[in-house]
Structure 1
Amino acid sequence: MSELETRPSNFIRTIIENDLESGKHQAIQTRFPPEPNGYLHIGHAKSICLNFGLALDYPNSACNLRFDDTNPVKEDADYVAAIEKDVTWLGFKWQGDIRYSSNYFEQLFDYAVELIENGKAYVCELNAEQTREYRGTLTSPGKNSPFRDRPIAESLDLFKRMRAGEFEEGTMMLRAKIDMASPNMKMRDPVIYRIRFAHHHQTGDKWCIYPMYDFTHCISDAIEGVTHSLCTLEFEDHRPLYDWVLANITIAAKPRQIEFSRLNLQYTLTSKRKLNALIEDNIVTGWDDPRMPTISGMRRRGYPAASLREFSKRIGVTKQENTVELASLEACVRENLEANGARAMAVIDPIKVIITNYDEDKIEQLTAPVHPKDESMGTRTLPFSRELYIDRADFREEGNKQYKRLKLHKEVRLRNAYVIRADDFKTDAEGNITEVHCTYDAGTLGKNPEDGRKVKGVIHWVSAASNNQAEFRIYDRLFTAENPAAAEDIHSVIYPESLVVKHGFVEKGLVDAKAEVAYQFEREGYFCADSKDSTPEKLVFNRTVALRDSWAG
């Protein structure tokens, strides 16, 4: 059984399988309905995996990609393109063409007219402040608008003139006539159309009235034959309105709305408004900054799509609100990269090593596995020369027993190469070590530390004579608070070392490293070439995730 065919049990699957067994439905139709007003984030990834995954699991079933594009003021075609890319990258394919709620604007208008004709909707002229006053509160009922009982013919005439552009924004709106005393605020004569003189990314300037989301969403579902309309728990209060609209228009399909808990992830924001504020305040560079919880940001950082699908599977689908540990997501990423990431060596904070007994003009071409546990991935070539670079943290003049790296007058093994001994070192005027002088044992190539030779450590290296210079962007979590949304000032919980930039060297073979292709830089972490800034002439690598959770404990 493939990854996309596995069927973890949850209450939504139970509902679906009961509907199929009873004959209520012969197949299921789901939809993923983002609003194109920002980039998708990790919470959307859970919804994508759920909606598309369910459609894959049941015969003759399908999932639509539909943009609920009812607010032209906040929407943009660039967001549409980004969302299409995200869904495809996650490994899913929608049924047929991409759909838009704006495709149904004419039908939506006709349904609104039907509500007016049946005495179920009316044109209201209260301004925004008056509307709030008339709505009431959670503990007190609202009161009827003075326009609630205007004649049907008058509301019909005004609504058509609204469409014709005769009235200014905010002067009129169409409201459903339900119950101003309802304990559910959503049912207190909600607005279903408002005037907006704004250019729409799909319909241009054809419309100057736009339907509200709650009116549009349920009708769009019904038009598309959606059987199970899945949404997060914050829409639970919207369900009575969803059902009311469909019950009061002449439309055959009656989708069932089912709510599940949204994904709350530690140290993460998922509010589009707050994420956009991070961009505007120059805390991050854009929606695809690798520190952002957006799908595009995680893709740029090097998260494999399969790891997000696995994460969505592990956290499950429930009605119980909870917060998932960020470490759970990172564990899925590590597991995938440990199994699939090619190995390479990079020195991020370099100091030079000179092997004094090695021929100055000699460069050996050593061989190492691409992956130590997968021979099918082949081998790679490592140039070895008299001068090398090692990481600054891998040499000390003195060290305790726990320090198993290079120490003065002690030996260490170079990964996939020889054993060397540190004989001397040099420092600059400030006392910083600039180079280490070593000798090597020519008979130790290919030997393992346990083969009789008591060498306690293995360190990585890069040839100084044959390498590629690279910039390393060491990304970490963006916030110091588990729940940054609760902070009074978001700037106060920004982690100051969420991005640390260093410059060093990588193996020669990585000059053509492709974006989104992960490498385990041995003993350093998992990295990938940056999709925007990395070129063969100027390599830039993003740290996807550390080798282990540095925040644990």
Structure 2
Amino acid sequence: MSHVDTEVRPSNFIRNIIDEDLKSGKHSQVHTRFPPEPNGYLHIGHAKSICLNFGIAKDYQGQCNLRFDDTNPEKEDINYVKSIQEDVRWLGFEWSGDIRYSSNYFDQLHQYAVELITKGLAYVCFLNGEQTREYRGSLKEPGKNSPYRDTSVEENLALFEKMRKGEFKEGECALRAKIDMASPFMCMRDPIIYRIRFAHHHQTGDKWCIYPMYDFTHCISDAIENITHSICTLEFQDNRRLYDWVLDHLNDFQAPNRTRQYEFSRLNLEYTLMSKRKLNDLVTRKLVDGWDDPRMPTIAGLRRRGYTSASIREFCLRIGVTKQENLIEVGMLDACIREELNEHAPRAMAVLRPIKVVIENYPDAQPETITAPAHPNNEAMGTRELTFGRELFIDVDDFKEEANKHFKRLVLGKEVRLRNAYIIKAERCDKDADGNITTVYCTYDADTLGKNPADGRKVKGVIHWVEASTAKPAEFRLYDRLFTSENPAAFETVDEVLNPNSLTVVKGLVEPGLVNAPAEKAFQFEREGYFCADSKDSSAEHLVFNLTVPLRDTFA
């Protein structure tokens, strides 16, 4: 029997069910699936499902299929298929066997629909959309039987064949399951299981003009693939009745150990939308820079912003798997990436809003080379070379002409240490016509190179810097939350809560070693935050760095 190492992952109710199924002999191995619809990019909510389904298969030494639920060709695209594969692999998982598509089973699904018609359990209905809704009833009132509900089996078979041949117009009719129009569950009131769509399909071309509905397709696809535990989110809880009804009435799926559906709570994250429809609206109206905009909650967007797959897996592990709906604090996700990058991200210096510093007593000779650690607590990461010279740049916020004792940076007449370099003292400054400081003139102490000055003298502050002649110009994209409300889904439109300040672009300088920084690899820009080179727009000639996350939570 397959087993799970209980020390690897904390238990949850789904794992308890699996443990019992293996113990009782109901199943001898675990087989899960991840079934995305290829109508958009995956988001952080899908990451939770990926980690759950693929993680369970891995821990129980079982299998997990990647199956695309491609029953709605009008909204699907092969580019979405490719992006989903990339996301799953980037998160650290590999599917079992070949990629699967629901469209692989269209011939079988058609035959199963014919079987239901033959058994008197499905009929072709000619009610239009408005009439169908009227006949369906409400949560308080039962529905009414369609006038086409008692059409003979022979006529329904002929009508369904005409549907298949394209002899009816779109919307003219649909195939419905014959269940119970008085059911307290709306999904059981004779749901549509096939509809007409004259749309080209990215896998099957123009072979079909009728396409099965998700609820009919999903359970049969699970059963064909011998999925043992079909795990989905809570919004499909009522649909489990239809899932079971379909399989209960098809001859091929009567085994007692056939697939069963189990539901868990979806991920709801503060300041984030988990609706692909609404995210697509942002992309379509160009309110963001595509599905992989670093402000988007898509896996591609998080990757472009510098999040790591390990940090997302850790986040999914921490939030757990339950049946209780809740809103997760976005700080939990930020904490996961900060903890990892604090340990693993190399350090570098960048000045986002530069002003010039001239060290007047520094020799005019060639600038010197200073060796600095790549990480202060990890010698294995090695060192990096910094150039130090007479002219430097520091951040404008690191200098004041006058300040109280709480300001621990550079002040006229006082000293500060330059990171990995010397102690300097501000002597005077120049300003432009508007009163903005342009240059600070300093002196330095040549005996204070390194962390421990030779004379034991200490200063209160340490600031970062870059050397003027070797620093490289760079664009910095500073990201804030995309929405101003912690629950943007509660609003009618995204426009009401779209944050107009979600992106700020500033121009500054970085140390020269970053000119070939790998895309999406995070660095800690000391005292600024974690940044990575943008995978689309950054090049050696035009450096662009995305803010992954600040050093601490500064969002209010």
> Which category describes the TM-score, using the shorter chain as reference length?
over 0.9
Contact 2:113 2:122 in 1 (8 A): yes
Moved runs in structure 1, 4+ residues, more than 4 A? 2-5
Matches within 5 A, 1:477-492: 477-492=481-496
CA distance in 2, matches of 1:229, 1:498: 38
Task: Summarize deviations over 1:148-176 as a string: whole Å, max 9, x none.
Answer: 11110111111111111111111111111
Secondary structure of 1:244's partner?
Answer: helix
Task: Summarize deviations over 1:271-296 as a string: whole Å, max 9, x none.
Answer: 11111122233321111110001111
Matched, 1:322 2:326: yes
Contact 2:448 2:454 in 1 (8 A): no
Contact 1:428 1:434 in 2 (8 A): yes
CA distance in 2, matches of 1:450, 1:93: 56
State the partner residue of 1:367: 371
Task: Summarize deviations over 1:366-391 as a string: whole Å, max 9, x none.
Answer: 01111111111100000111110100
Task: Summarize deviations over 1:37-95 as a string: whole Å, max 9, x none.
Answer: 11111100000000000001013x01000000000011110110111111010000000
The partner residue of 1:13 within 12, 15, 26 is: 15
Matches within 5 A, 1:269-308: 269-308=273-312
Secondary structure of 1:296's partner?
Answer: helix
CA distance in 2, matches of 1:290, 1:493: 18
Shift in Å, 1:250:
1.8
Give the stretch that moved more between structures: 486-495 or 526-535: 486-495
CA distance in 1, matches of 2:207, 2:7: 44
CA distance in 2, matches of 1:406, 1:348: 17
CA distance in 2, matches of 1:114, 1:491: 48
Contact 2:373 2:379 in 1 (8 A): yes
CA distance in 1, matches of 2:46, 2:492: 26
Secondary structure of 2:477's partner?
Answer: strand
CA distance in 1, matches of 2:404, 2:451: 25
CA distance in 2, matches of 1:491, 1:181: 40
Contact 1:449 1:456 in 2 (8 A): no
CA distance in 2, matches of 1:325, 1:524: 23
CA distance in 1, matches of 2:434, 2:493: 40
State the partner residue of 2:239: 238
Q: Which amino acid aligns with 1:256?
A: R
State the partner residue of 1:26: 28
State the partner residue of 1:428: 432
State the partner residue of 1:469: 473
Q: Which amino acid aligns with 2:503?
A: L
Matched, 1:336 2:336: no
Shift in Å, 1:515:
1.0
Cα 1:347/1:4, change in 2 over 3 Å: farther
Matches within 5 A, 1:32-111: 32-59=34-61, 61-111=62-112
Matched, 1:502 2:506: yes
Runs of at least 5 residues in structure 1 that lack an aligned partner in the other structure:
none
Secondary structure of 1:257's partner?
Answer: strand
State the partner residue of 2:398: 394
Secondary structure of 1:73's partner?
Answer: helix
State the partner residue of 1:228: 229
Shift in Å, 1:447:
3.5
Contact 2:360 2:443 in 1 (8 A): yes
Matches within 5 A, 1:407-426: 407-426=411-430
Shift in Å, 1:489:
4.2
Q: Identity of paired residues, percent?
A: 69
CA distance in 1, matches of 2:297, 2:461: 37
Contact 1:5 1:57 in 2 (8 A): no
Shift in Å, 1:449:
6.7
Matched, 1:202 2:203: yes
State the partner residue of 2:269: 265
State the partner residue of 1:139: 140
Contact 1:449 1:455 in 2 (8 A): no
Contact 2:5 2:59 in 1 (8 A): no
CA distance in 1, matches of 2:116, 2:455: 85
CA distance in 1, matches of 2:6, 2:383: 31
CA distance in 2, matches of 1:433, 1:359: 24
The partner residue of 1:516 within 517, 520, 526 is: 520
Contact 2:118 2:153 in 1 (8 A): yes
CA distance in 2, matches of 1:319, 1:451: 63
Normalised by the length of structure 1, the TM-score is 0.98
Q: Which amino acid aligns with 1:482?
A: E
Q: Which amino acid aligns with 1:122?
A: Y
Shift in Å, 1:125:
1.0
Cα 1:7/1:450, change in 2 over 3 Å: farther
CA distance in 2, matches of 1:245, 1:361: 84
CA distance in 1, matches of 2:502, 2:7: 37
Runs of at least 5 residues in structure 2 that lack an aligned partner in the other structure:
none
Cα 1:420/1:331, change in 2 over 3 Å: same
CA distance in 2, matches of 1:200, 1:282: 26
CA distance in 1, matches of 2:191, 2:515: 59
Contact 2:411 2:426 in 1 (8 A): yes
Q: Which amino acid aligns with 1:531?
A: S
Contact 1:28 1:55 in 2 (8 A): yes
The partner residue of 1:447 within 431, 436, 451 is: 451
State the partner residue of 1:458: 462
State the partner residue of 1:550: 554
Matched, 1:356 2:360: yes
Aligned pairs, number? 550
CA distance in 1, matches of 2:284, 2:110: 37
Task: Summarize deviations over 1:472-526 as a string: whole Å, max 9, x none.
Answer: 0001111111111112442232222211000111110111011111100000000
Q: Which amino acid aligns with 1:23?
A: G
Q: Which amino acid aligns with 2:212?
A: P
Contact 2:292 2:301 in 1 (8 A): yes
Contact 1:4 1:56 in 2 (8 A): no
Secondary structure of 1:413's partner?
Answer: strand
CA distance in 2, matches of 1:228, 1:364: 64
CA distance in 1, matches of 2:117, 2:455: 87
CA distance in 1, matches of 2:346, 2:509: 17
CA distance in 2, matches of 1:3, 1:391: 51
Cα 1:401/1:368, change in 2 over 3 Å: same
Q: Which amino acid aligns with 1:354?
A: V
Contact 1:69 1:100 in 2 (8 A): yes
CA distance in 2, matches of 1:461, 1:389: 6
Q: Which amino acid aligns with 2:213?
A: M
Give the stretch that moved more between structures: 167-176 or 483-492: 483-492
Contact 1:5 1:56 in 2 (8 A): no
Secondary structure of 1:312's partner?
Answer: helix
Shift in Å, 1:452:
2.6
Secondary structure of 2:444's partner?
Answer: strand
Contact 1:342 1:370 in 2 (8 A): yes
The partner residue of 2:531 within 527, 533, 550 is: 527
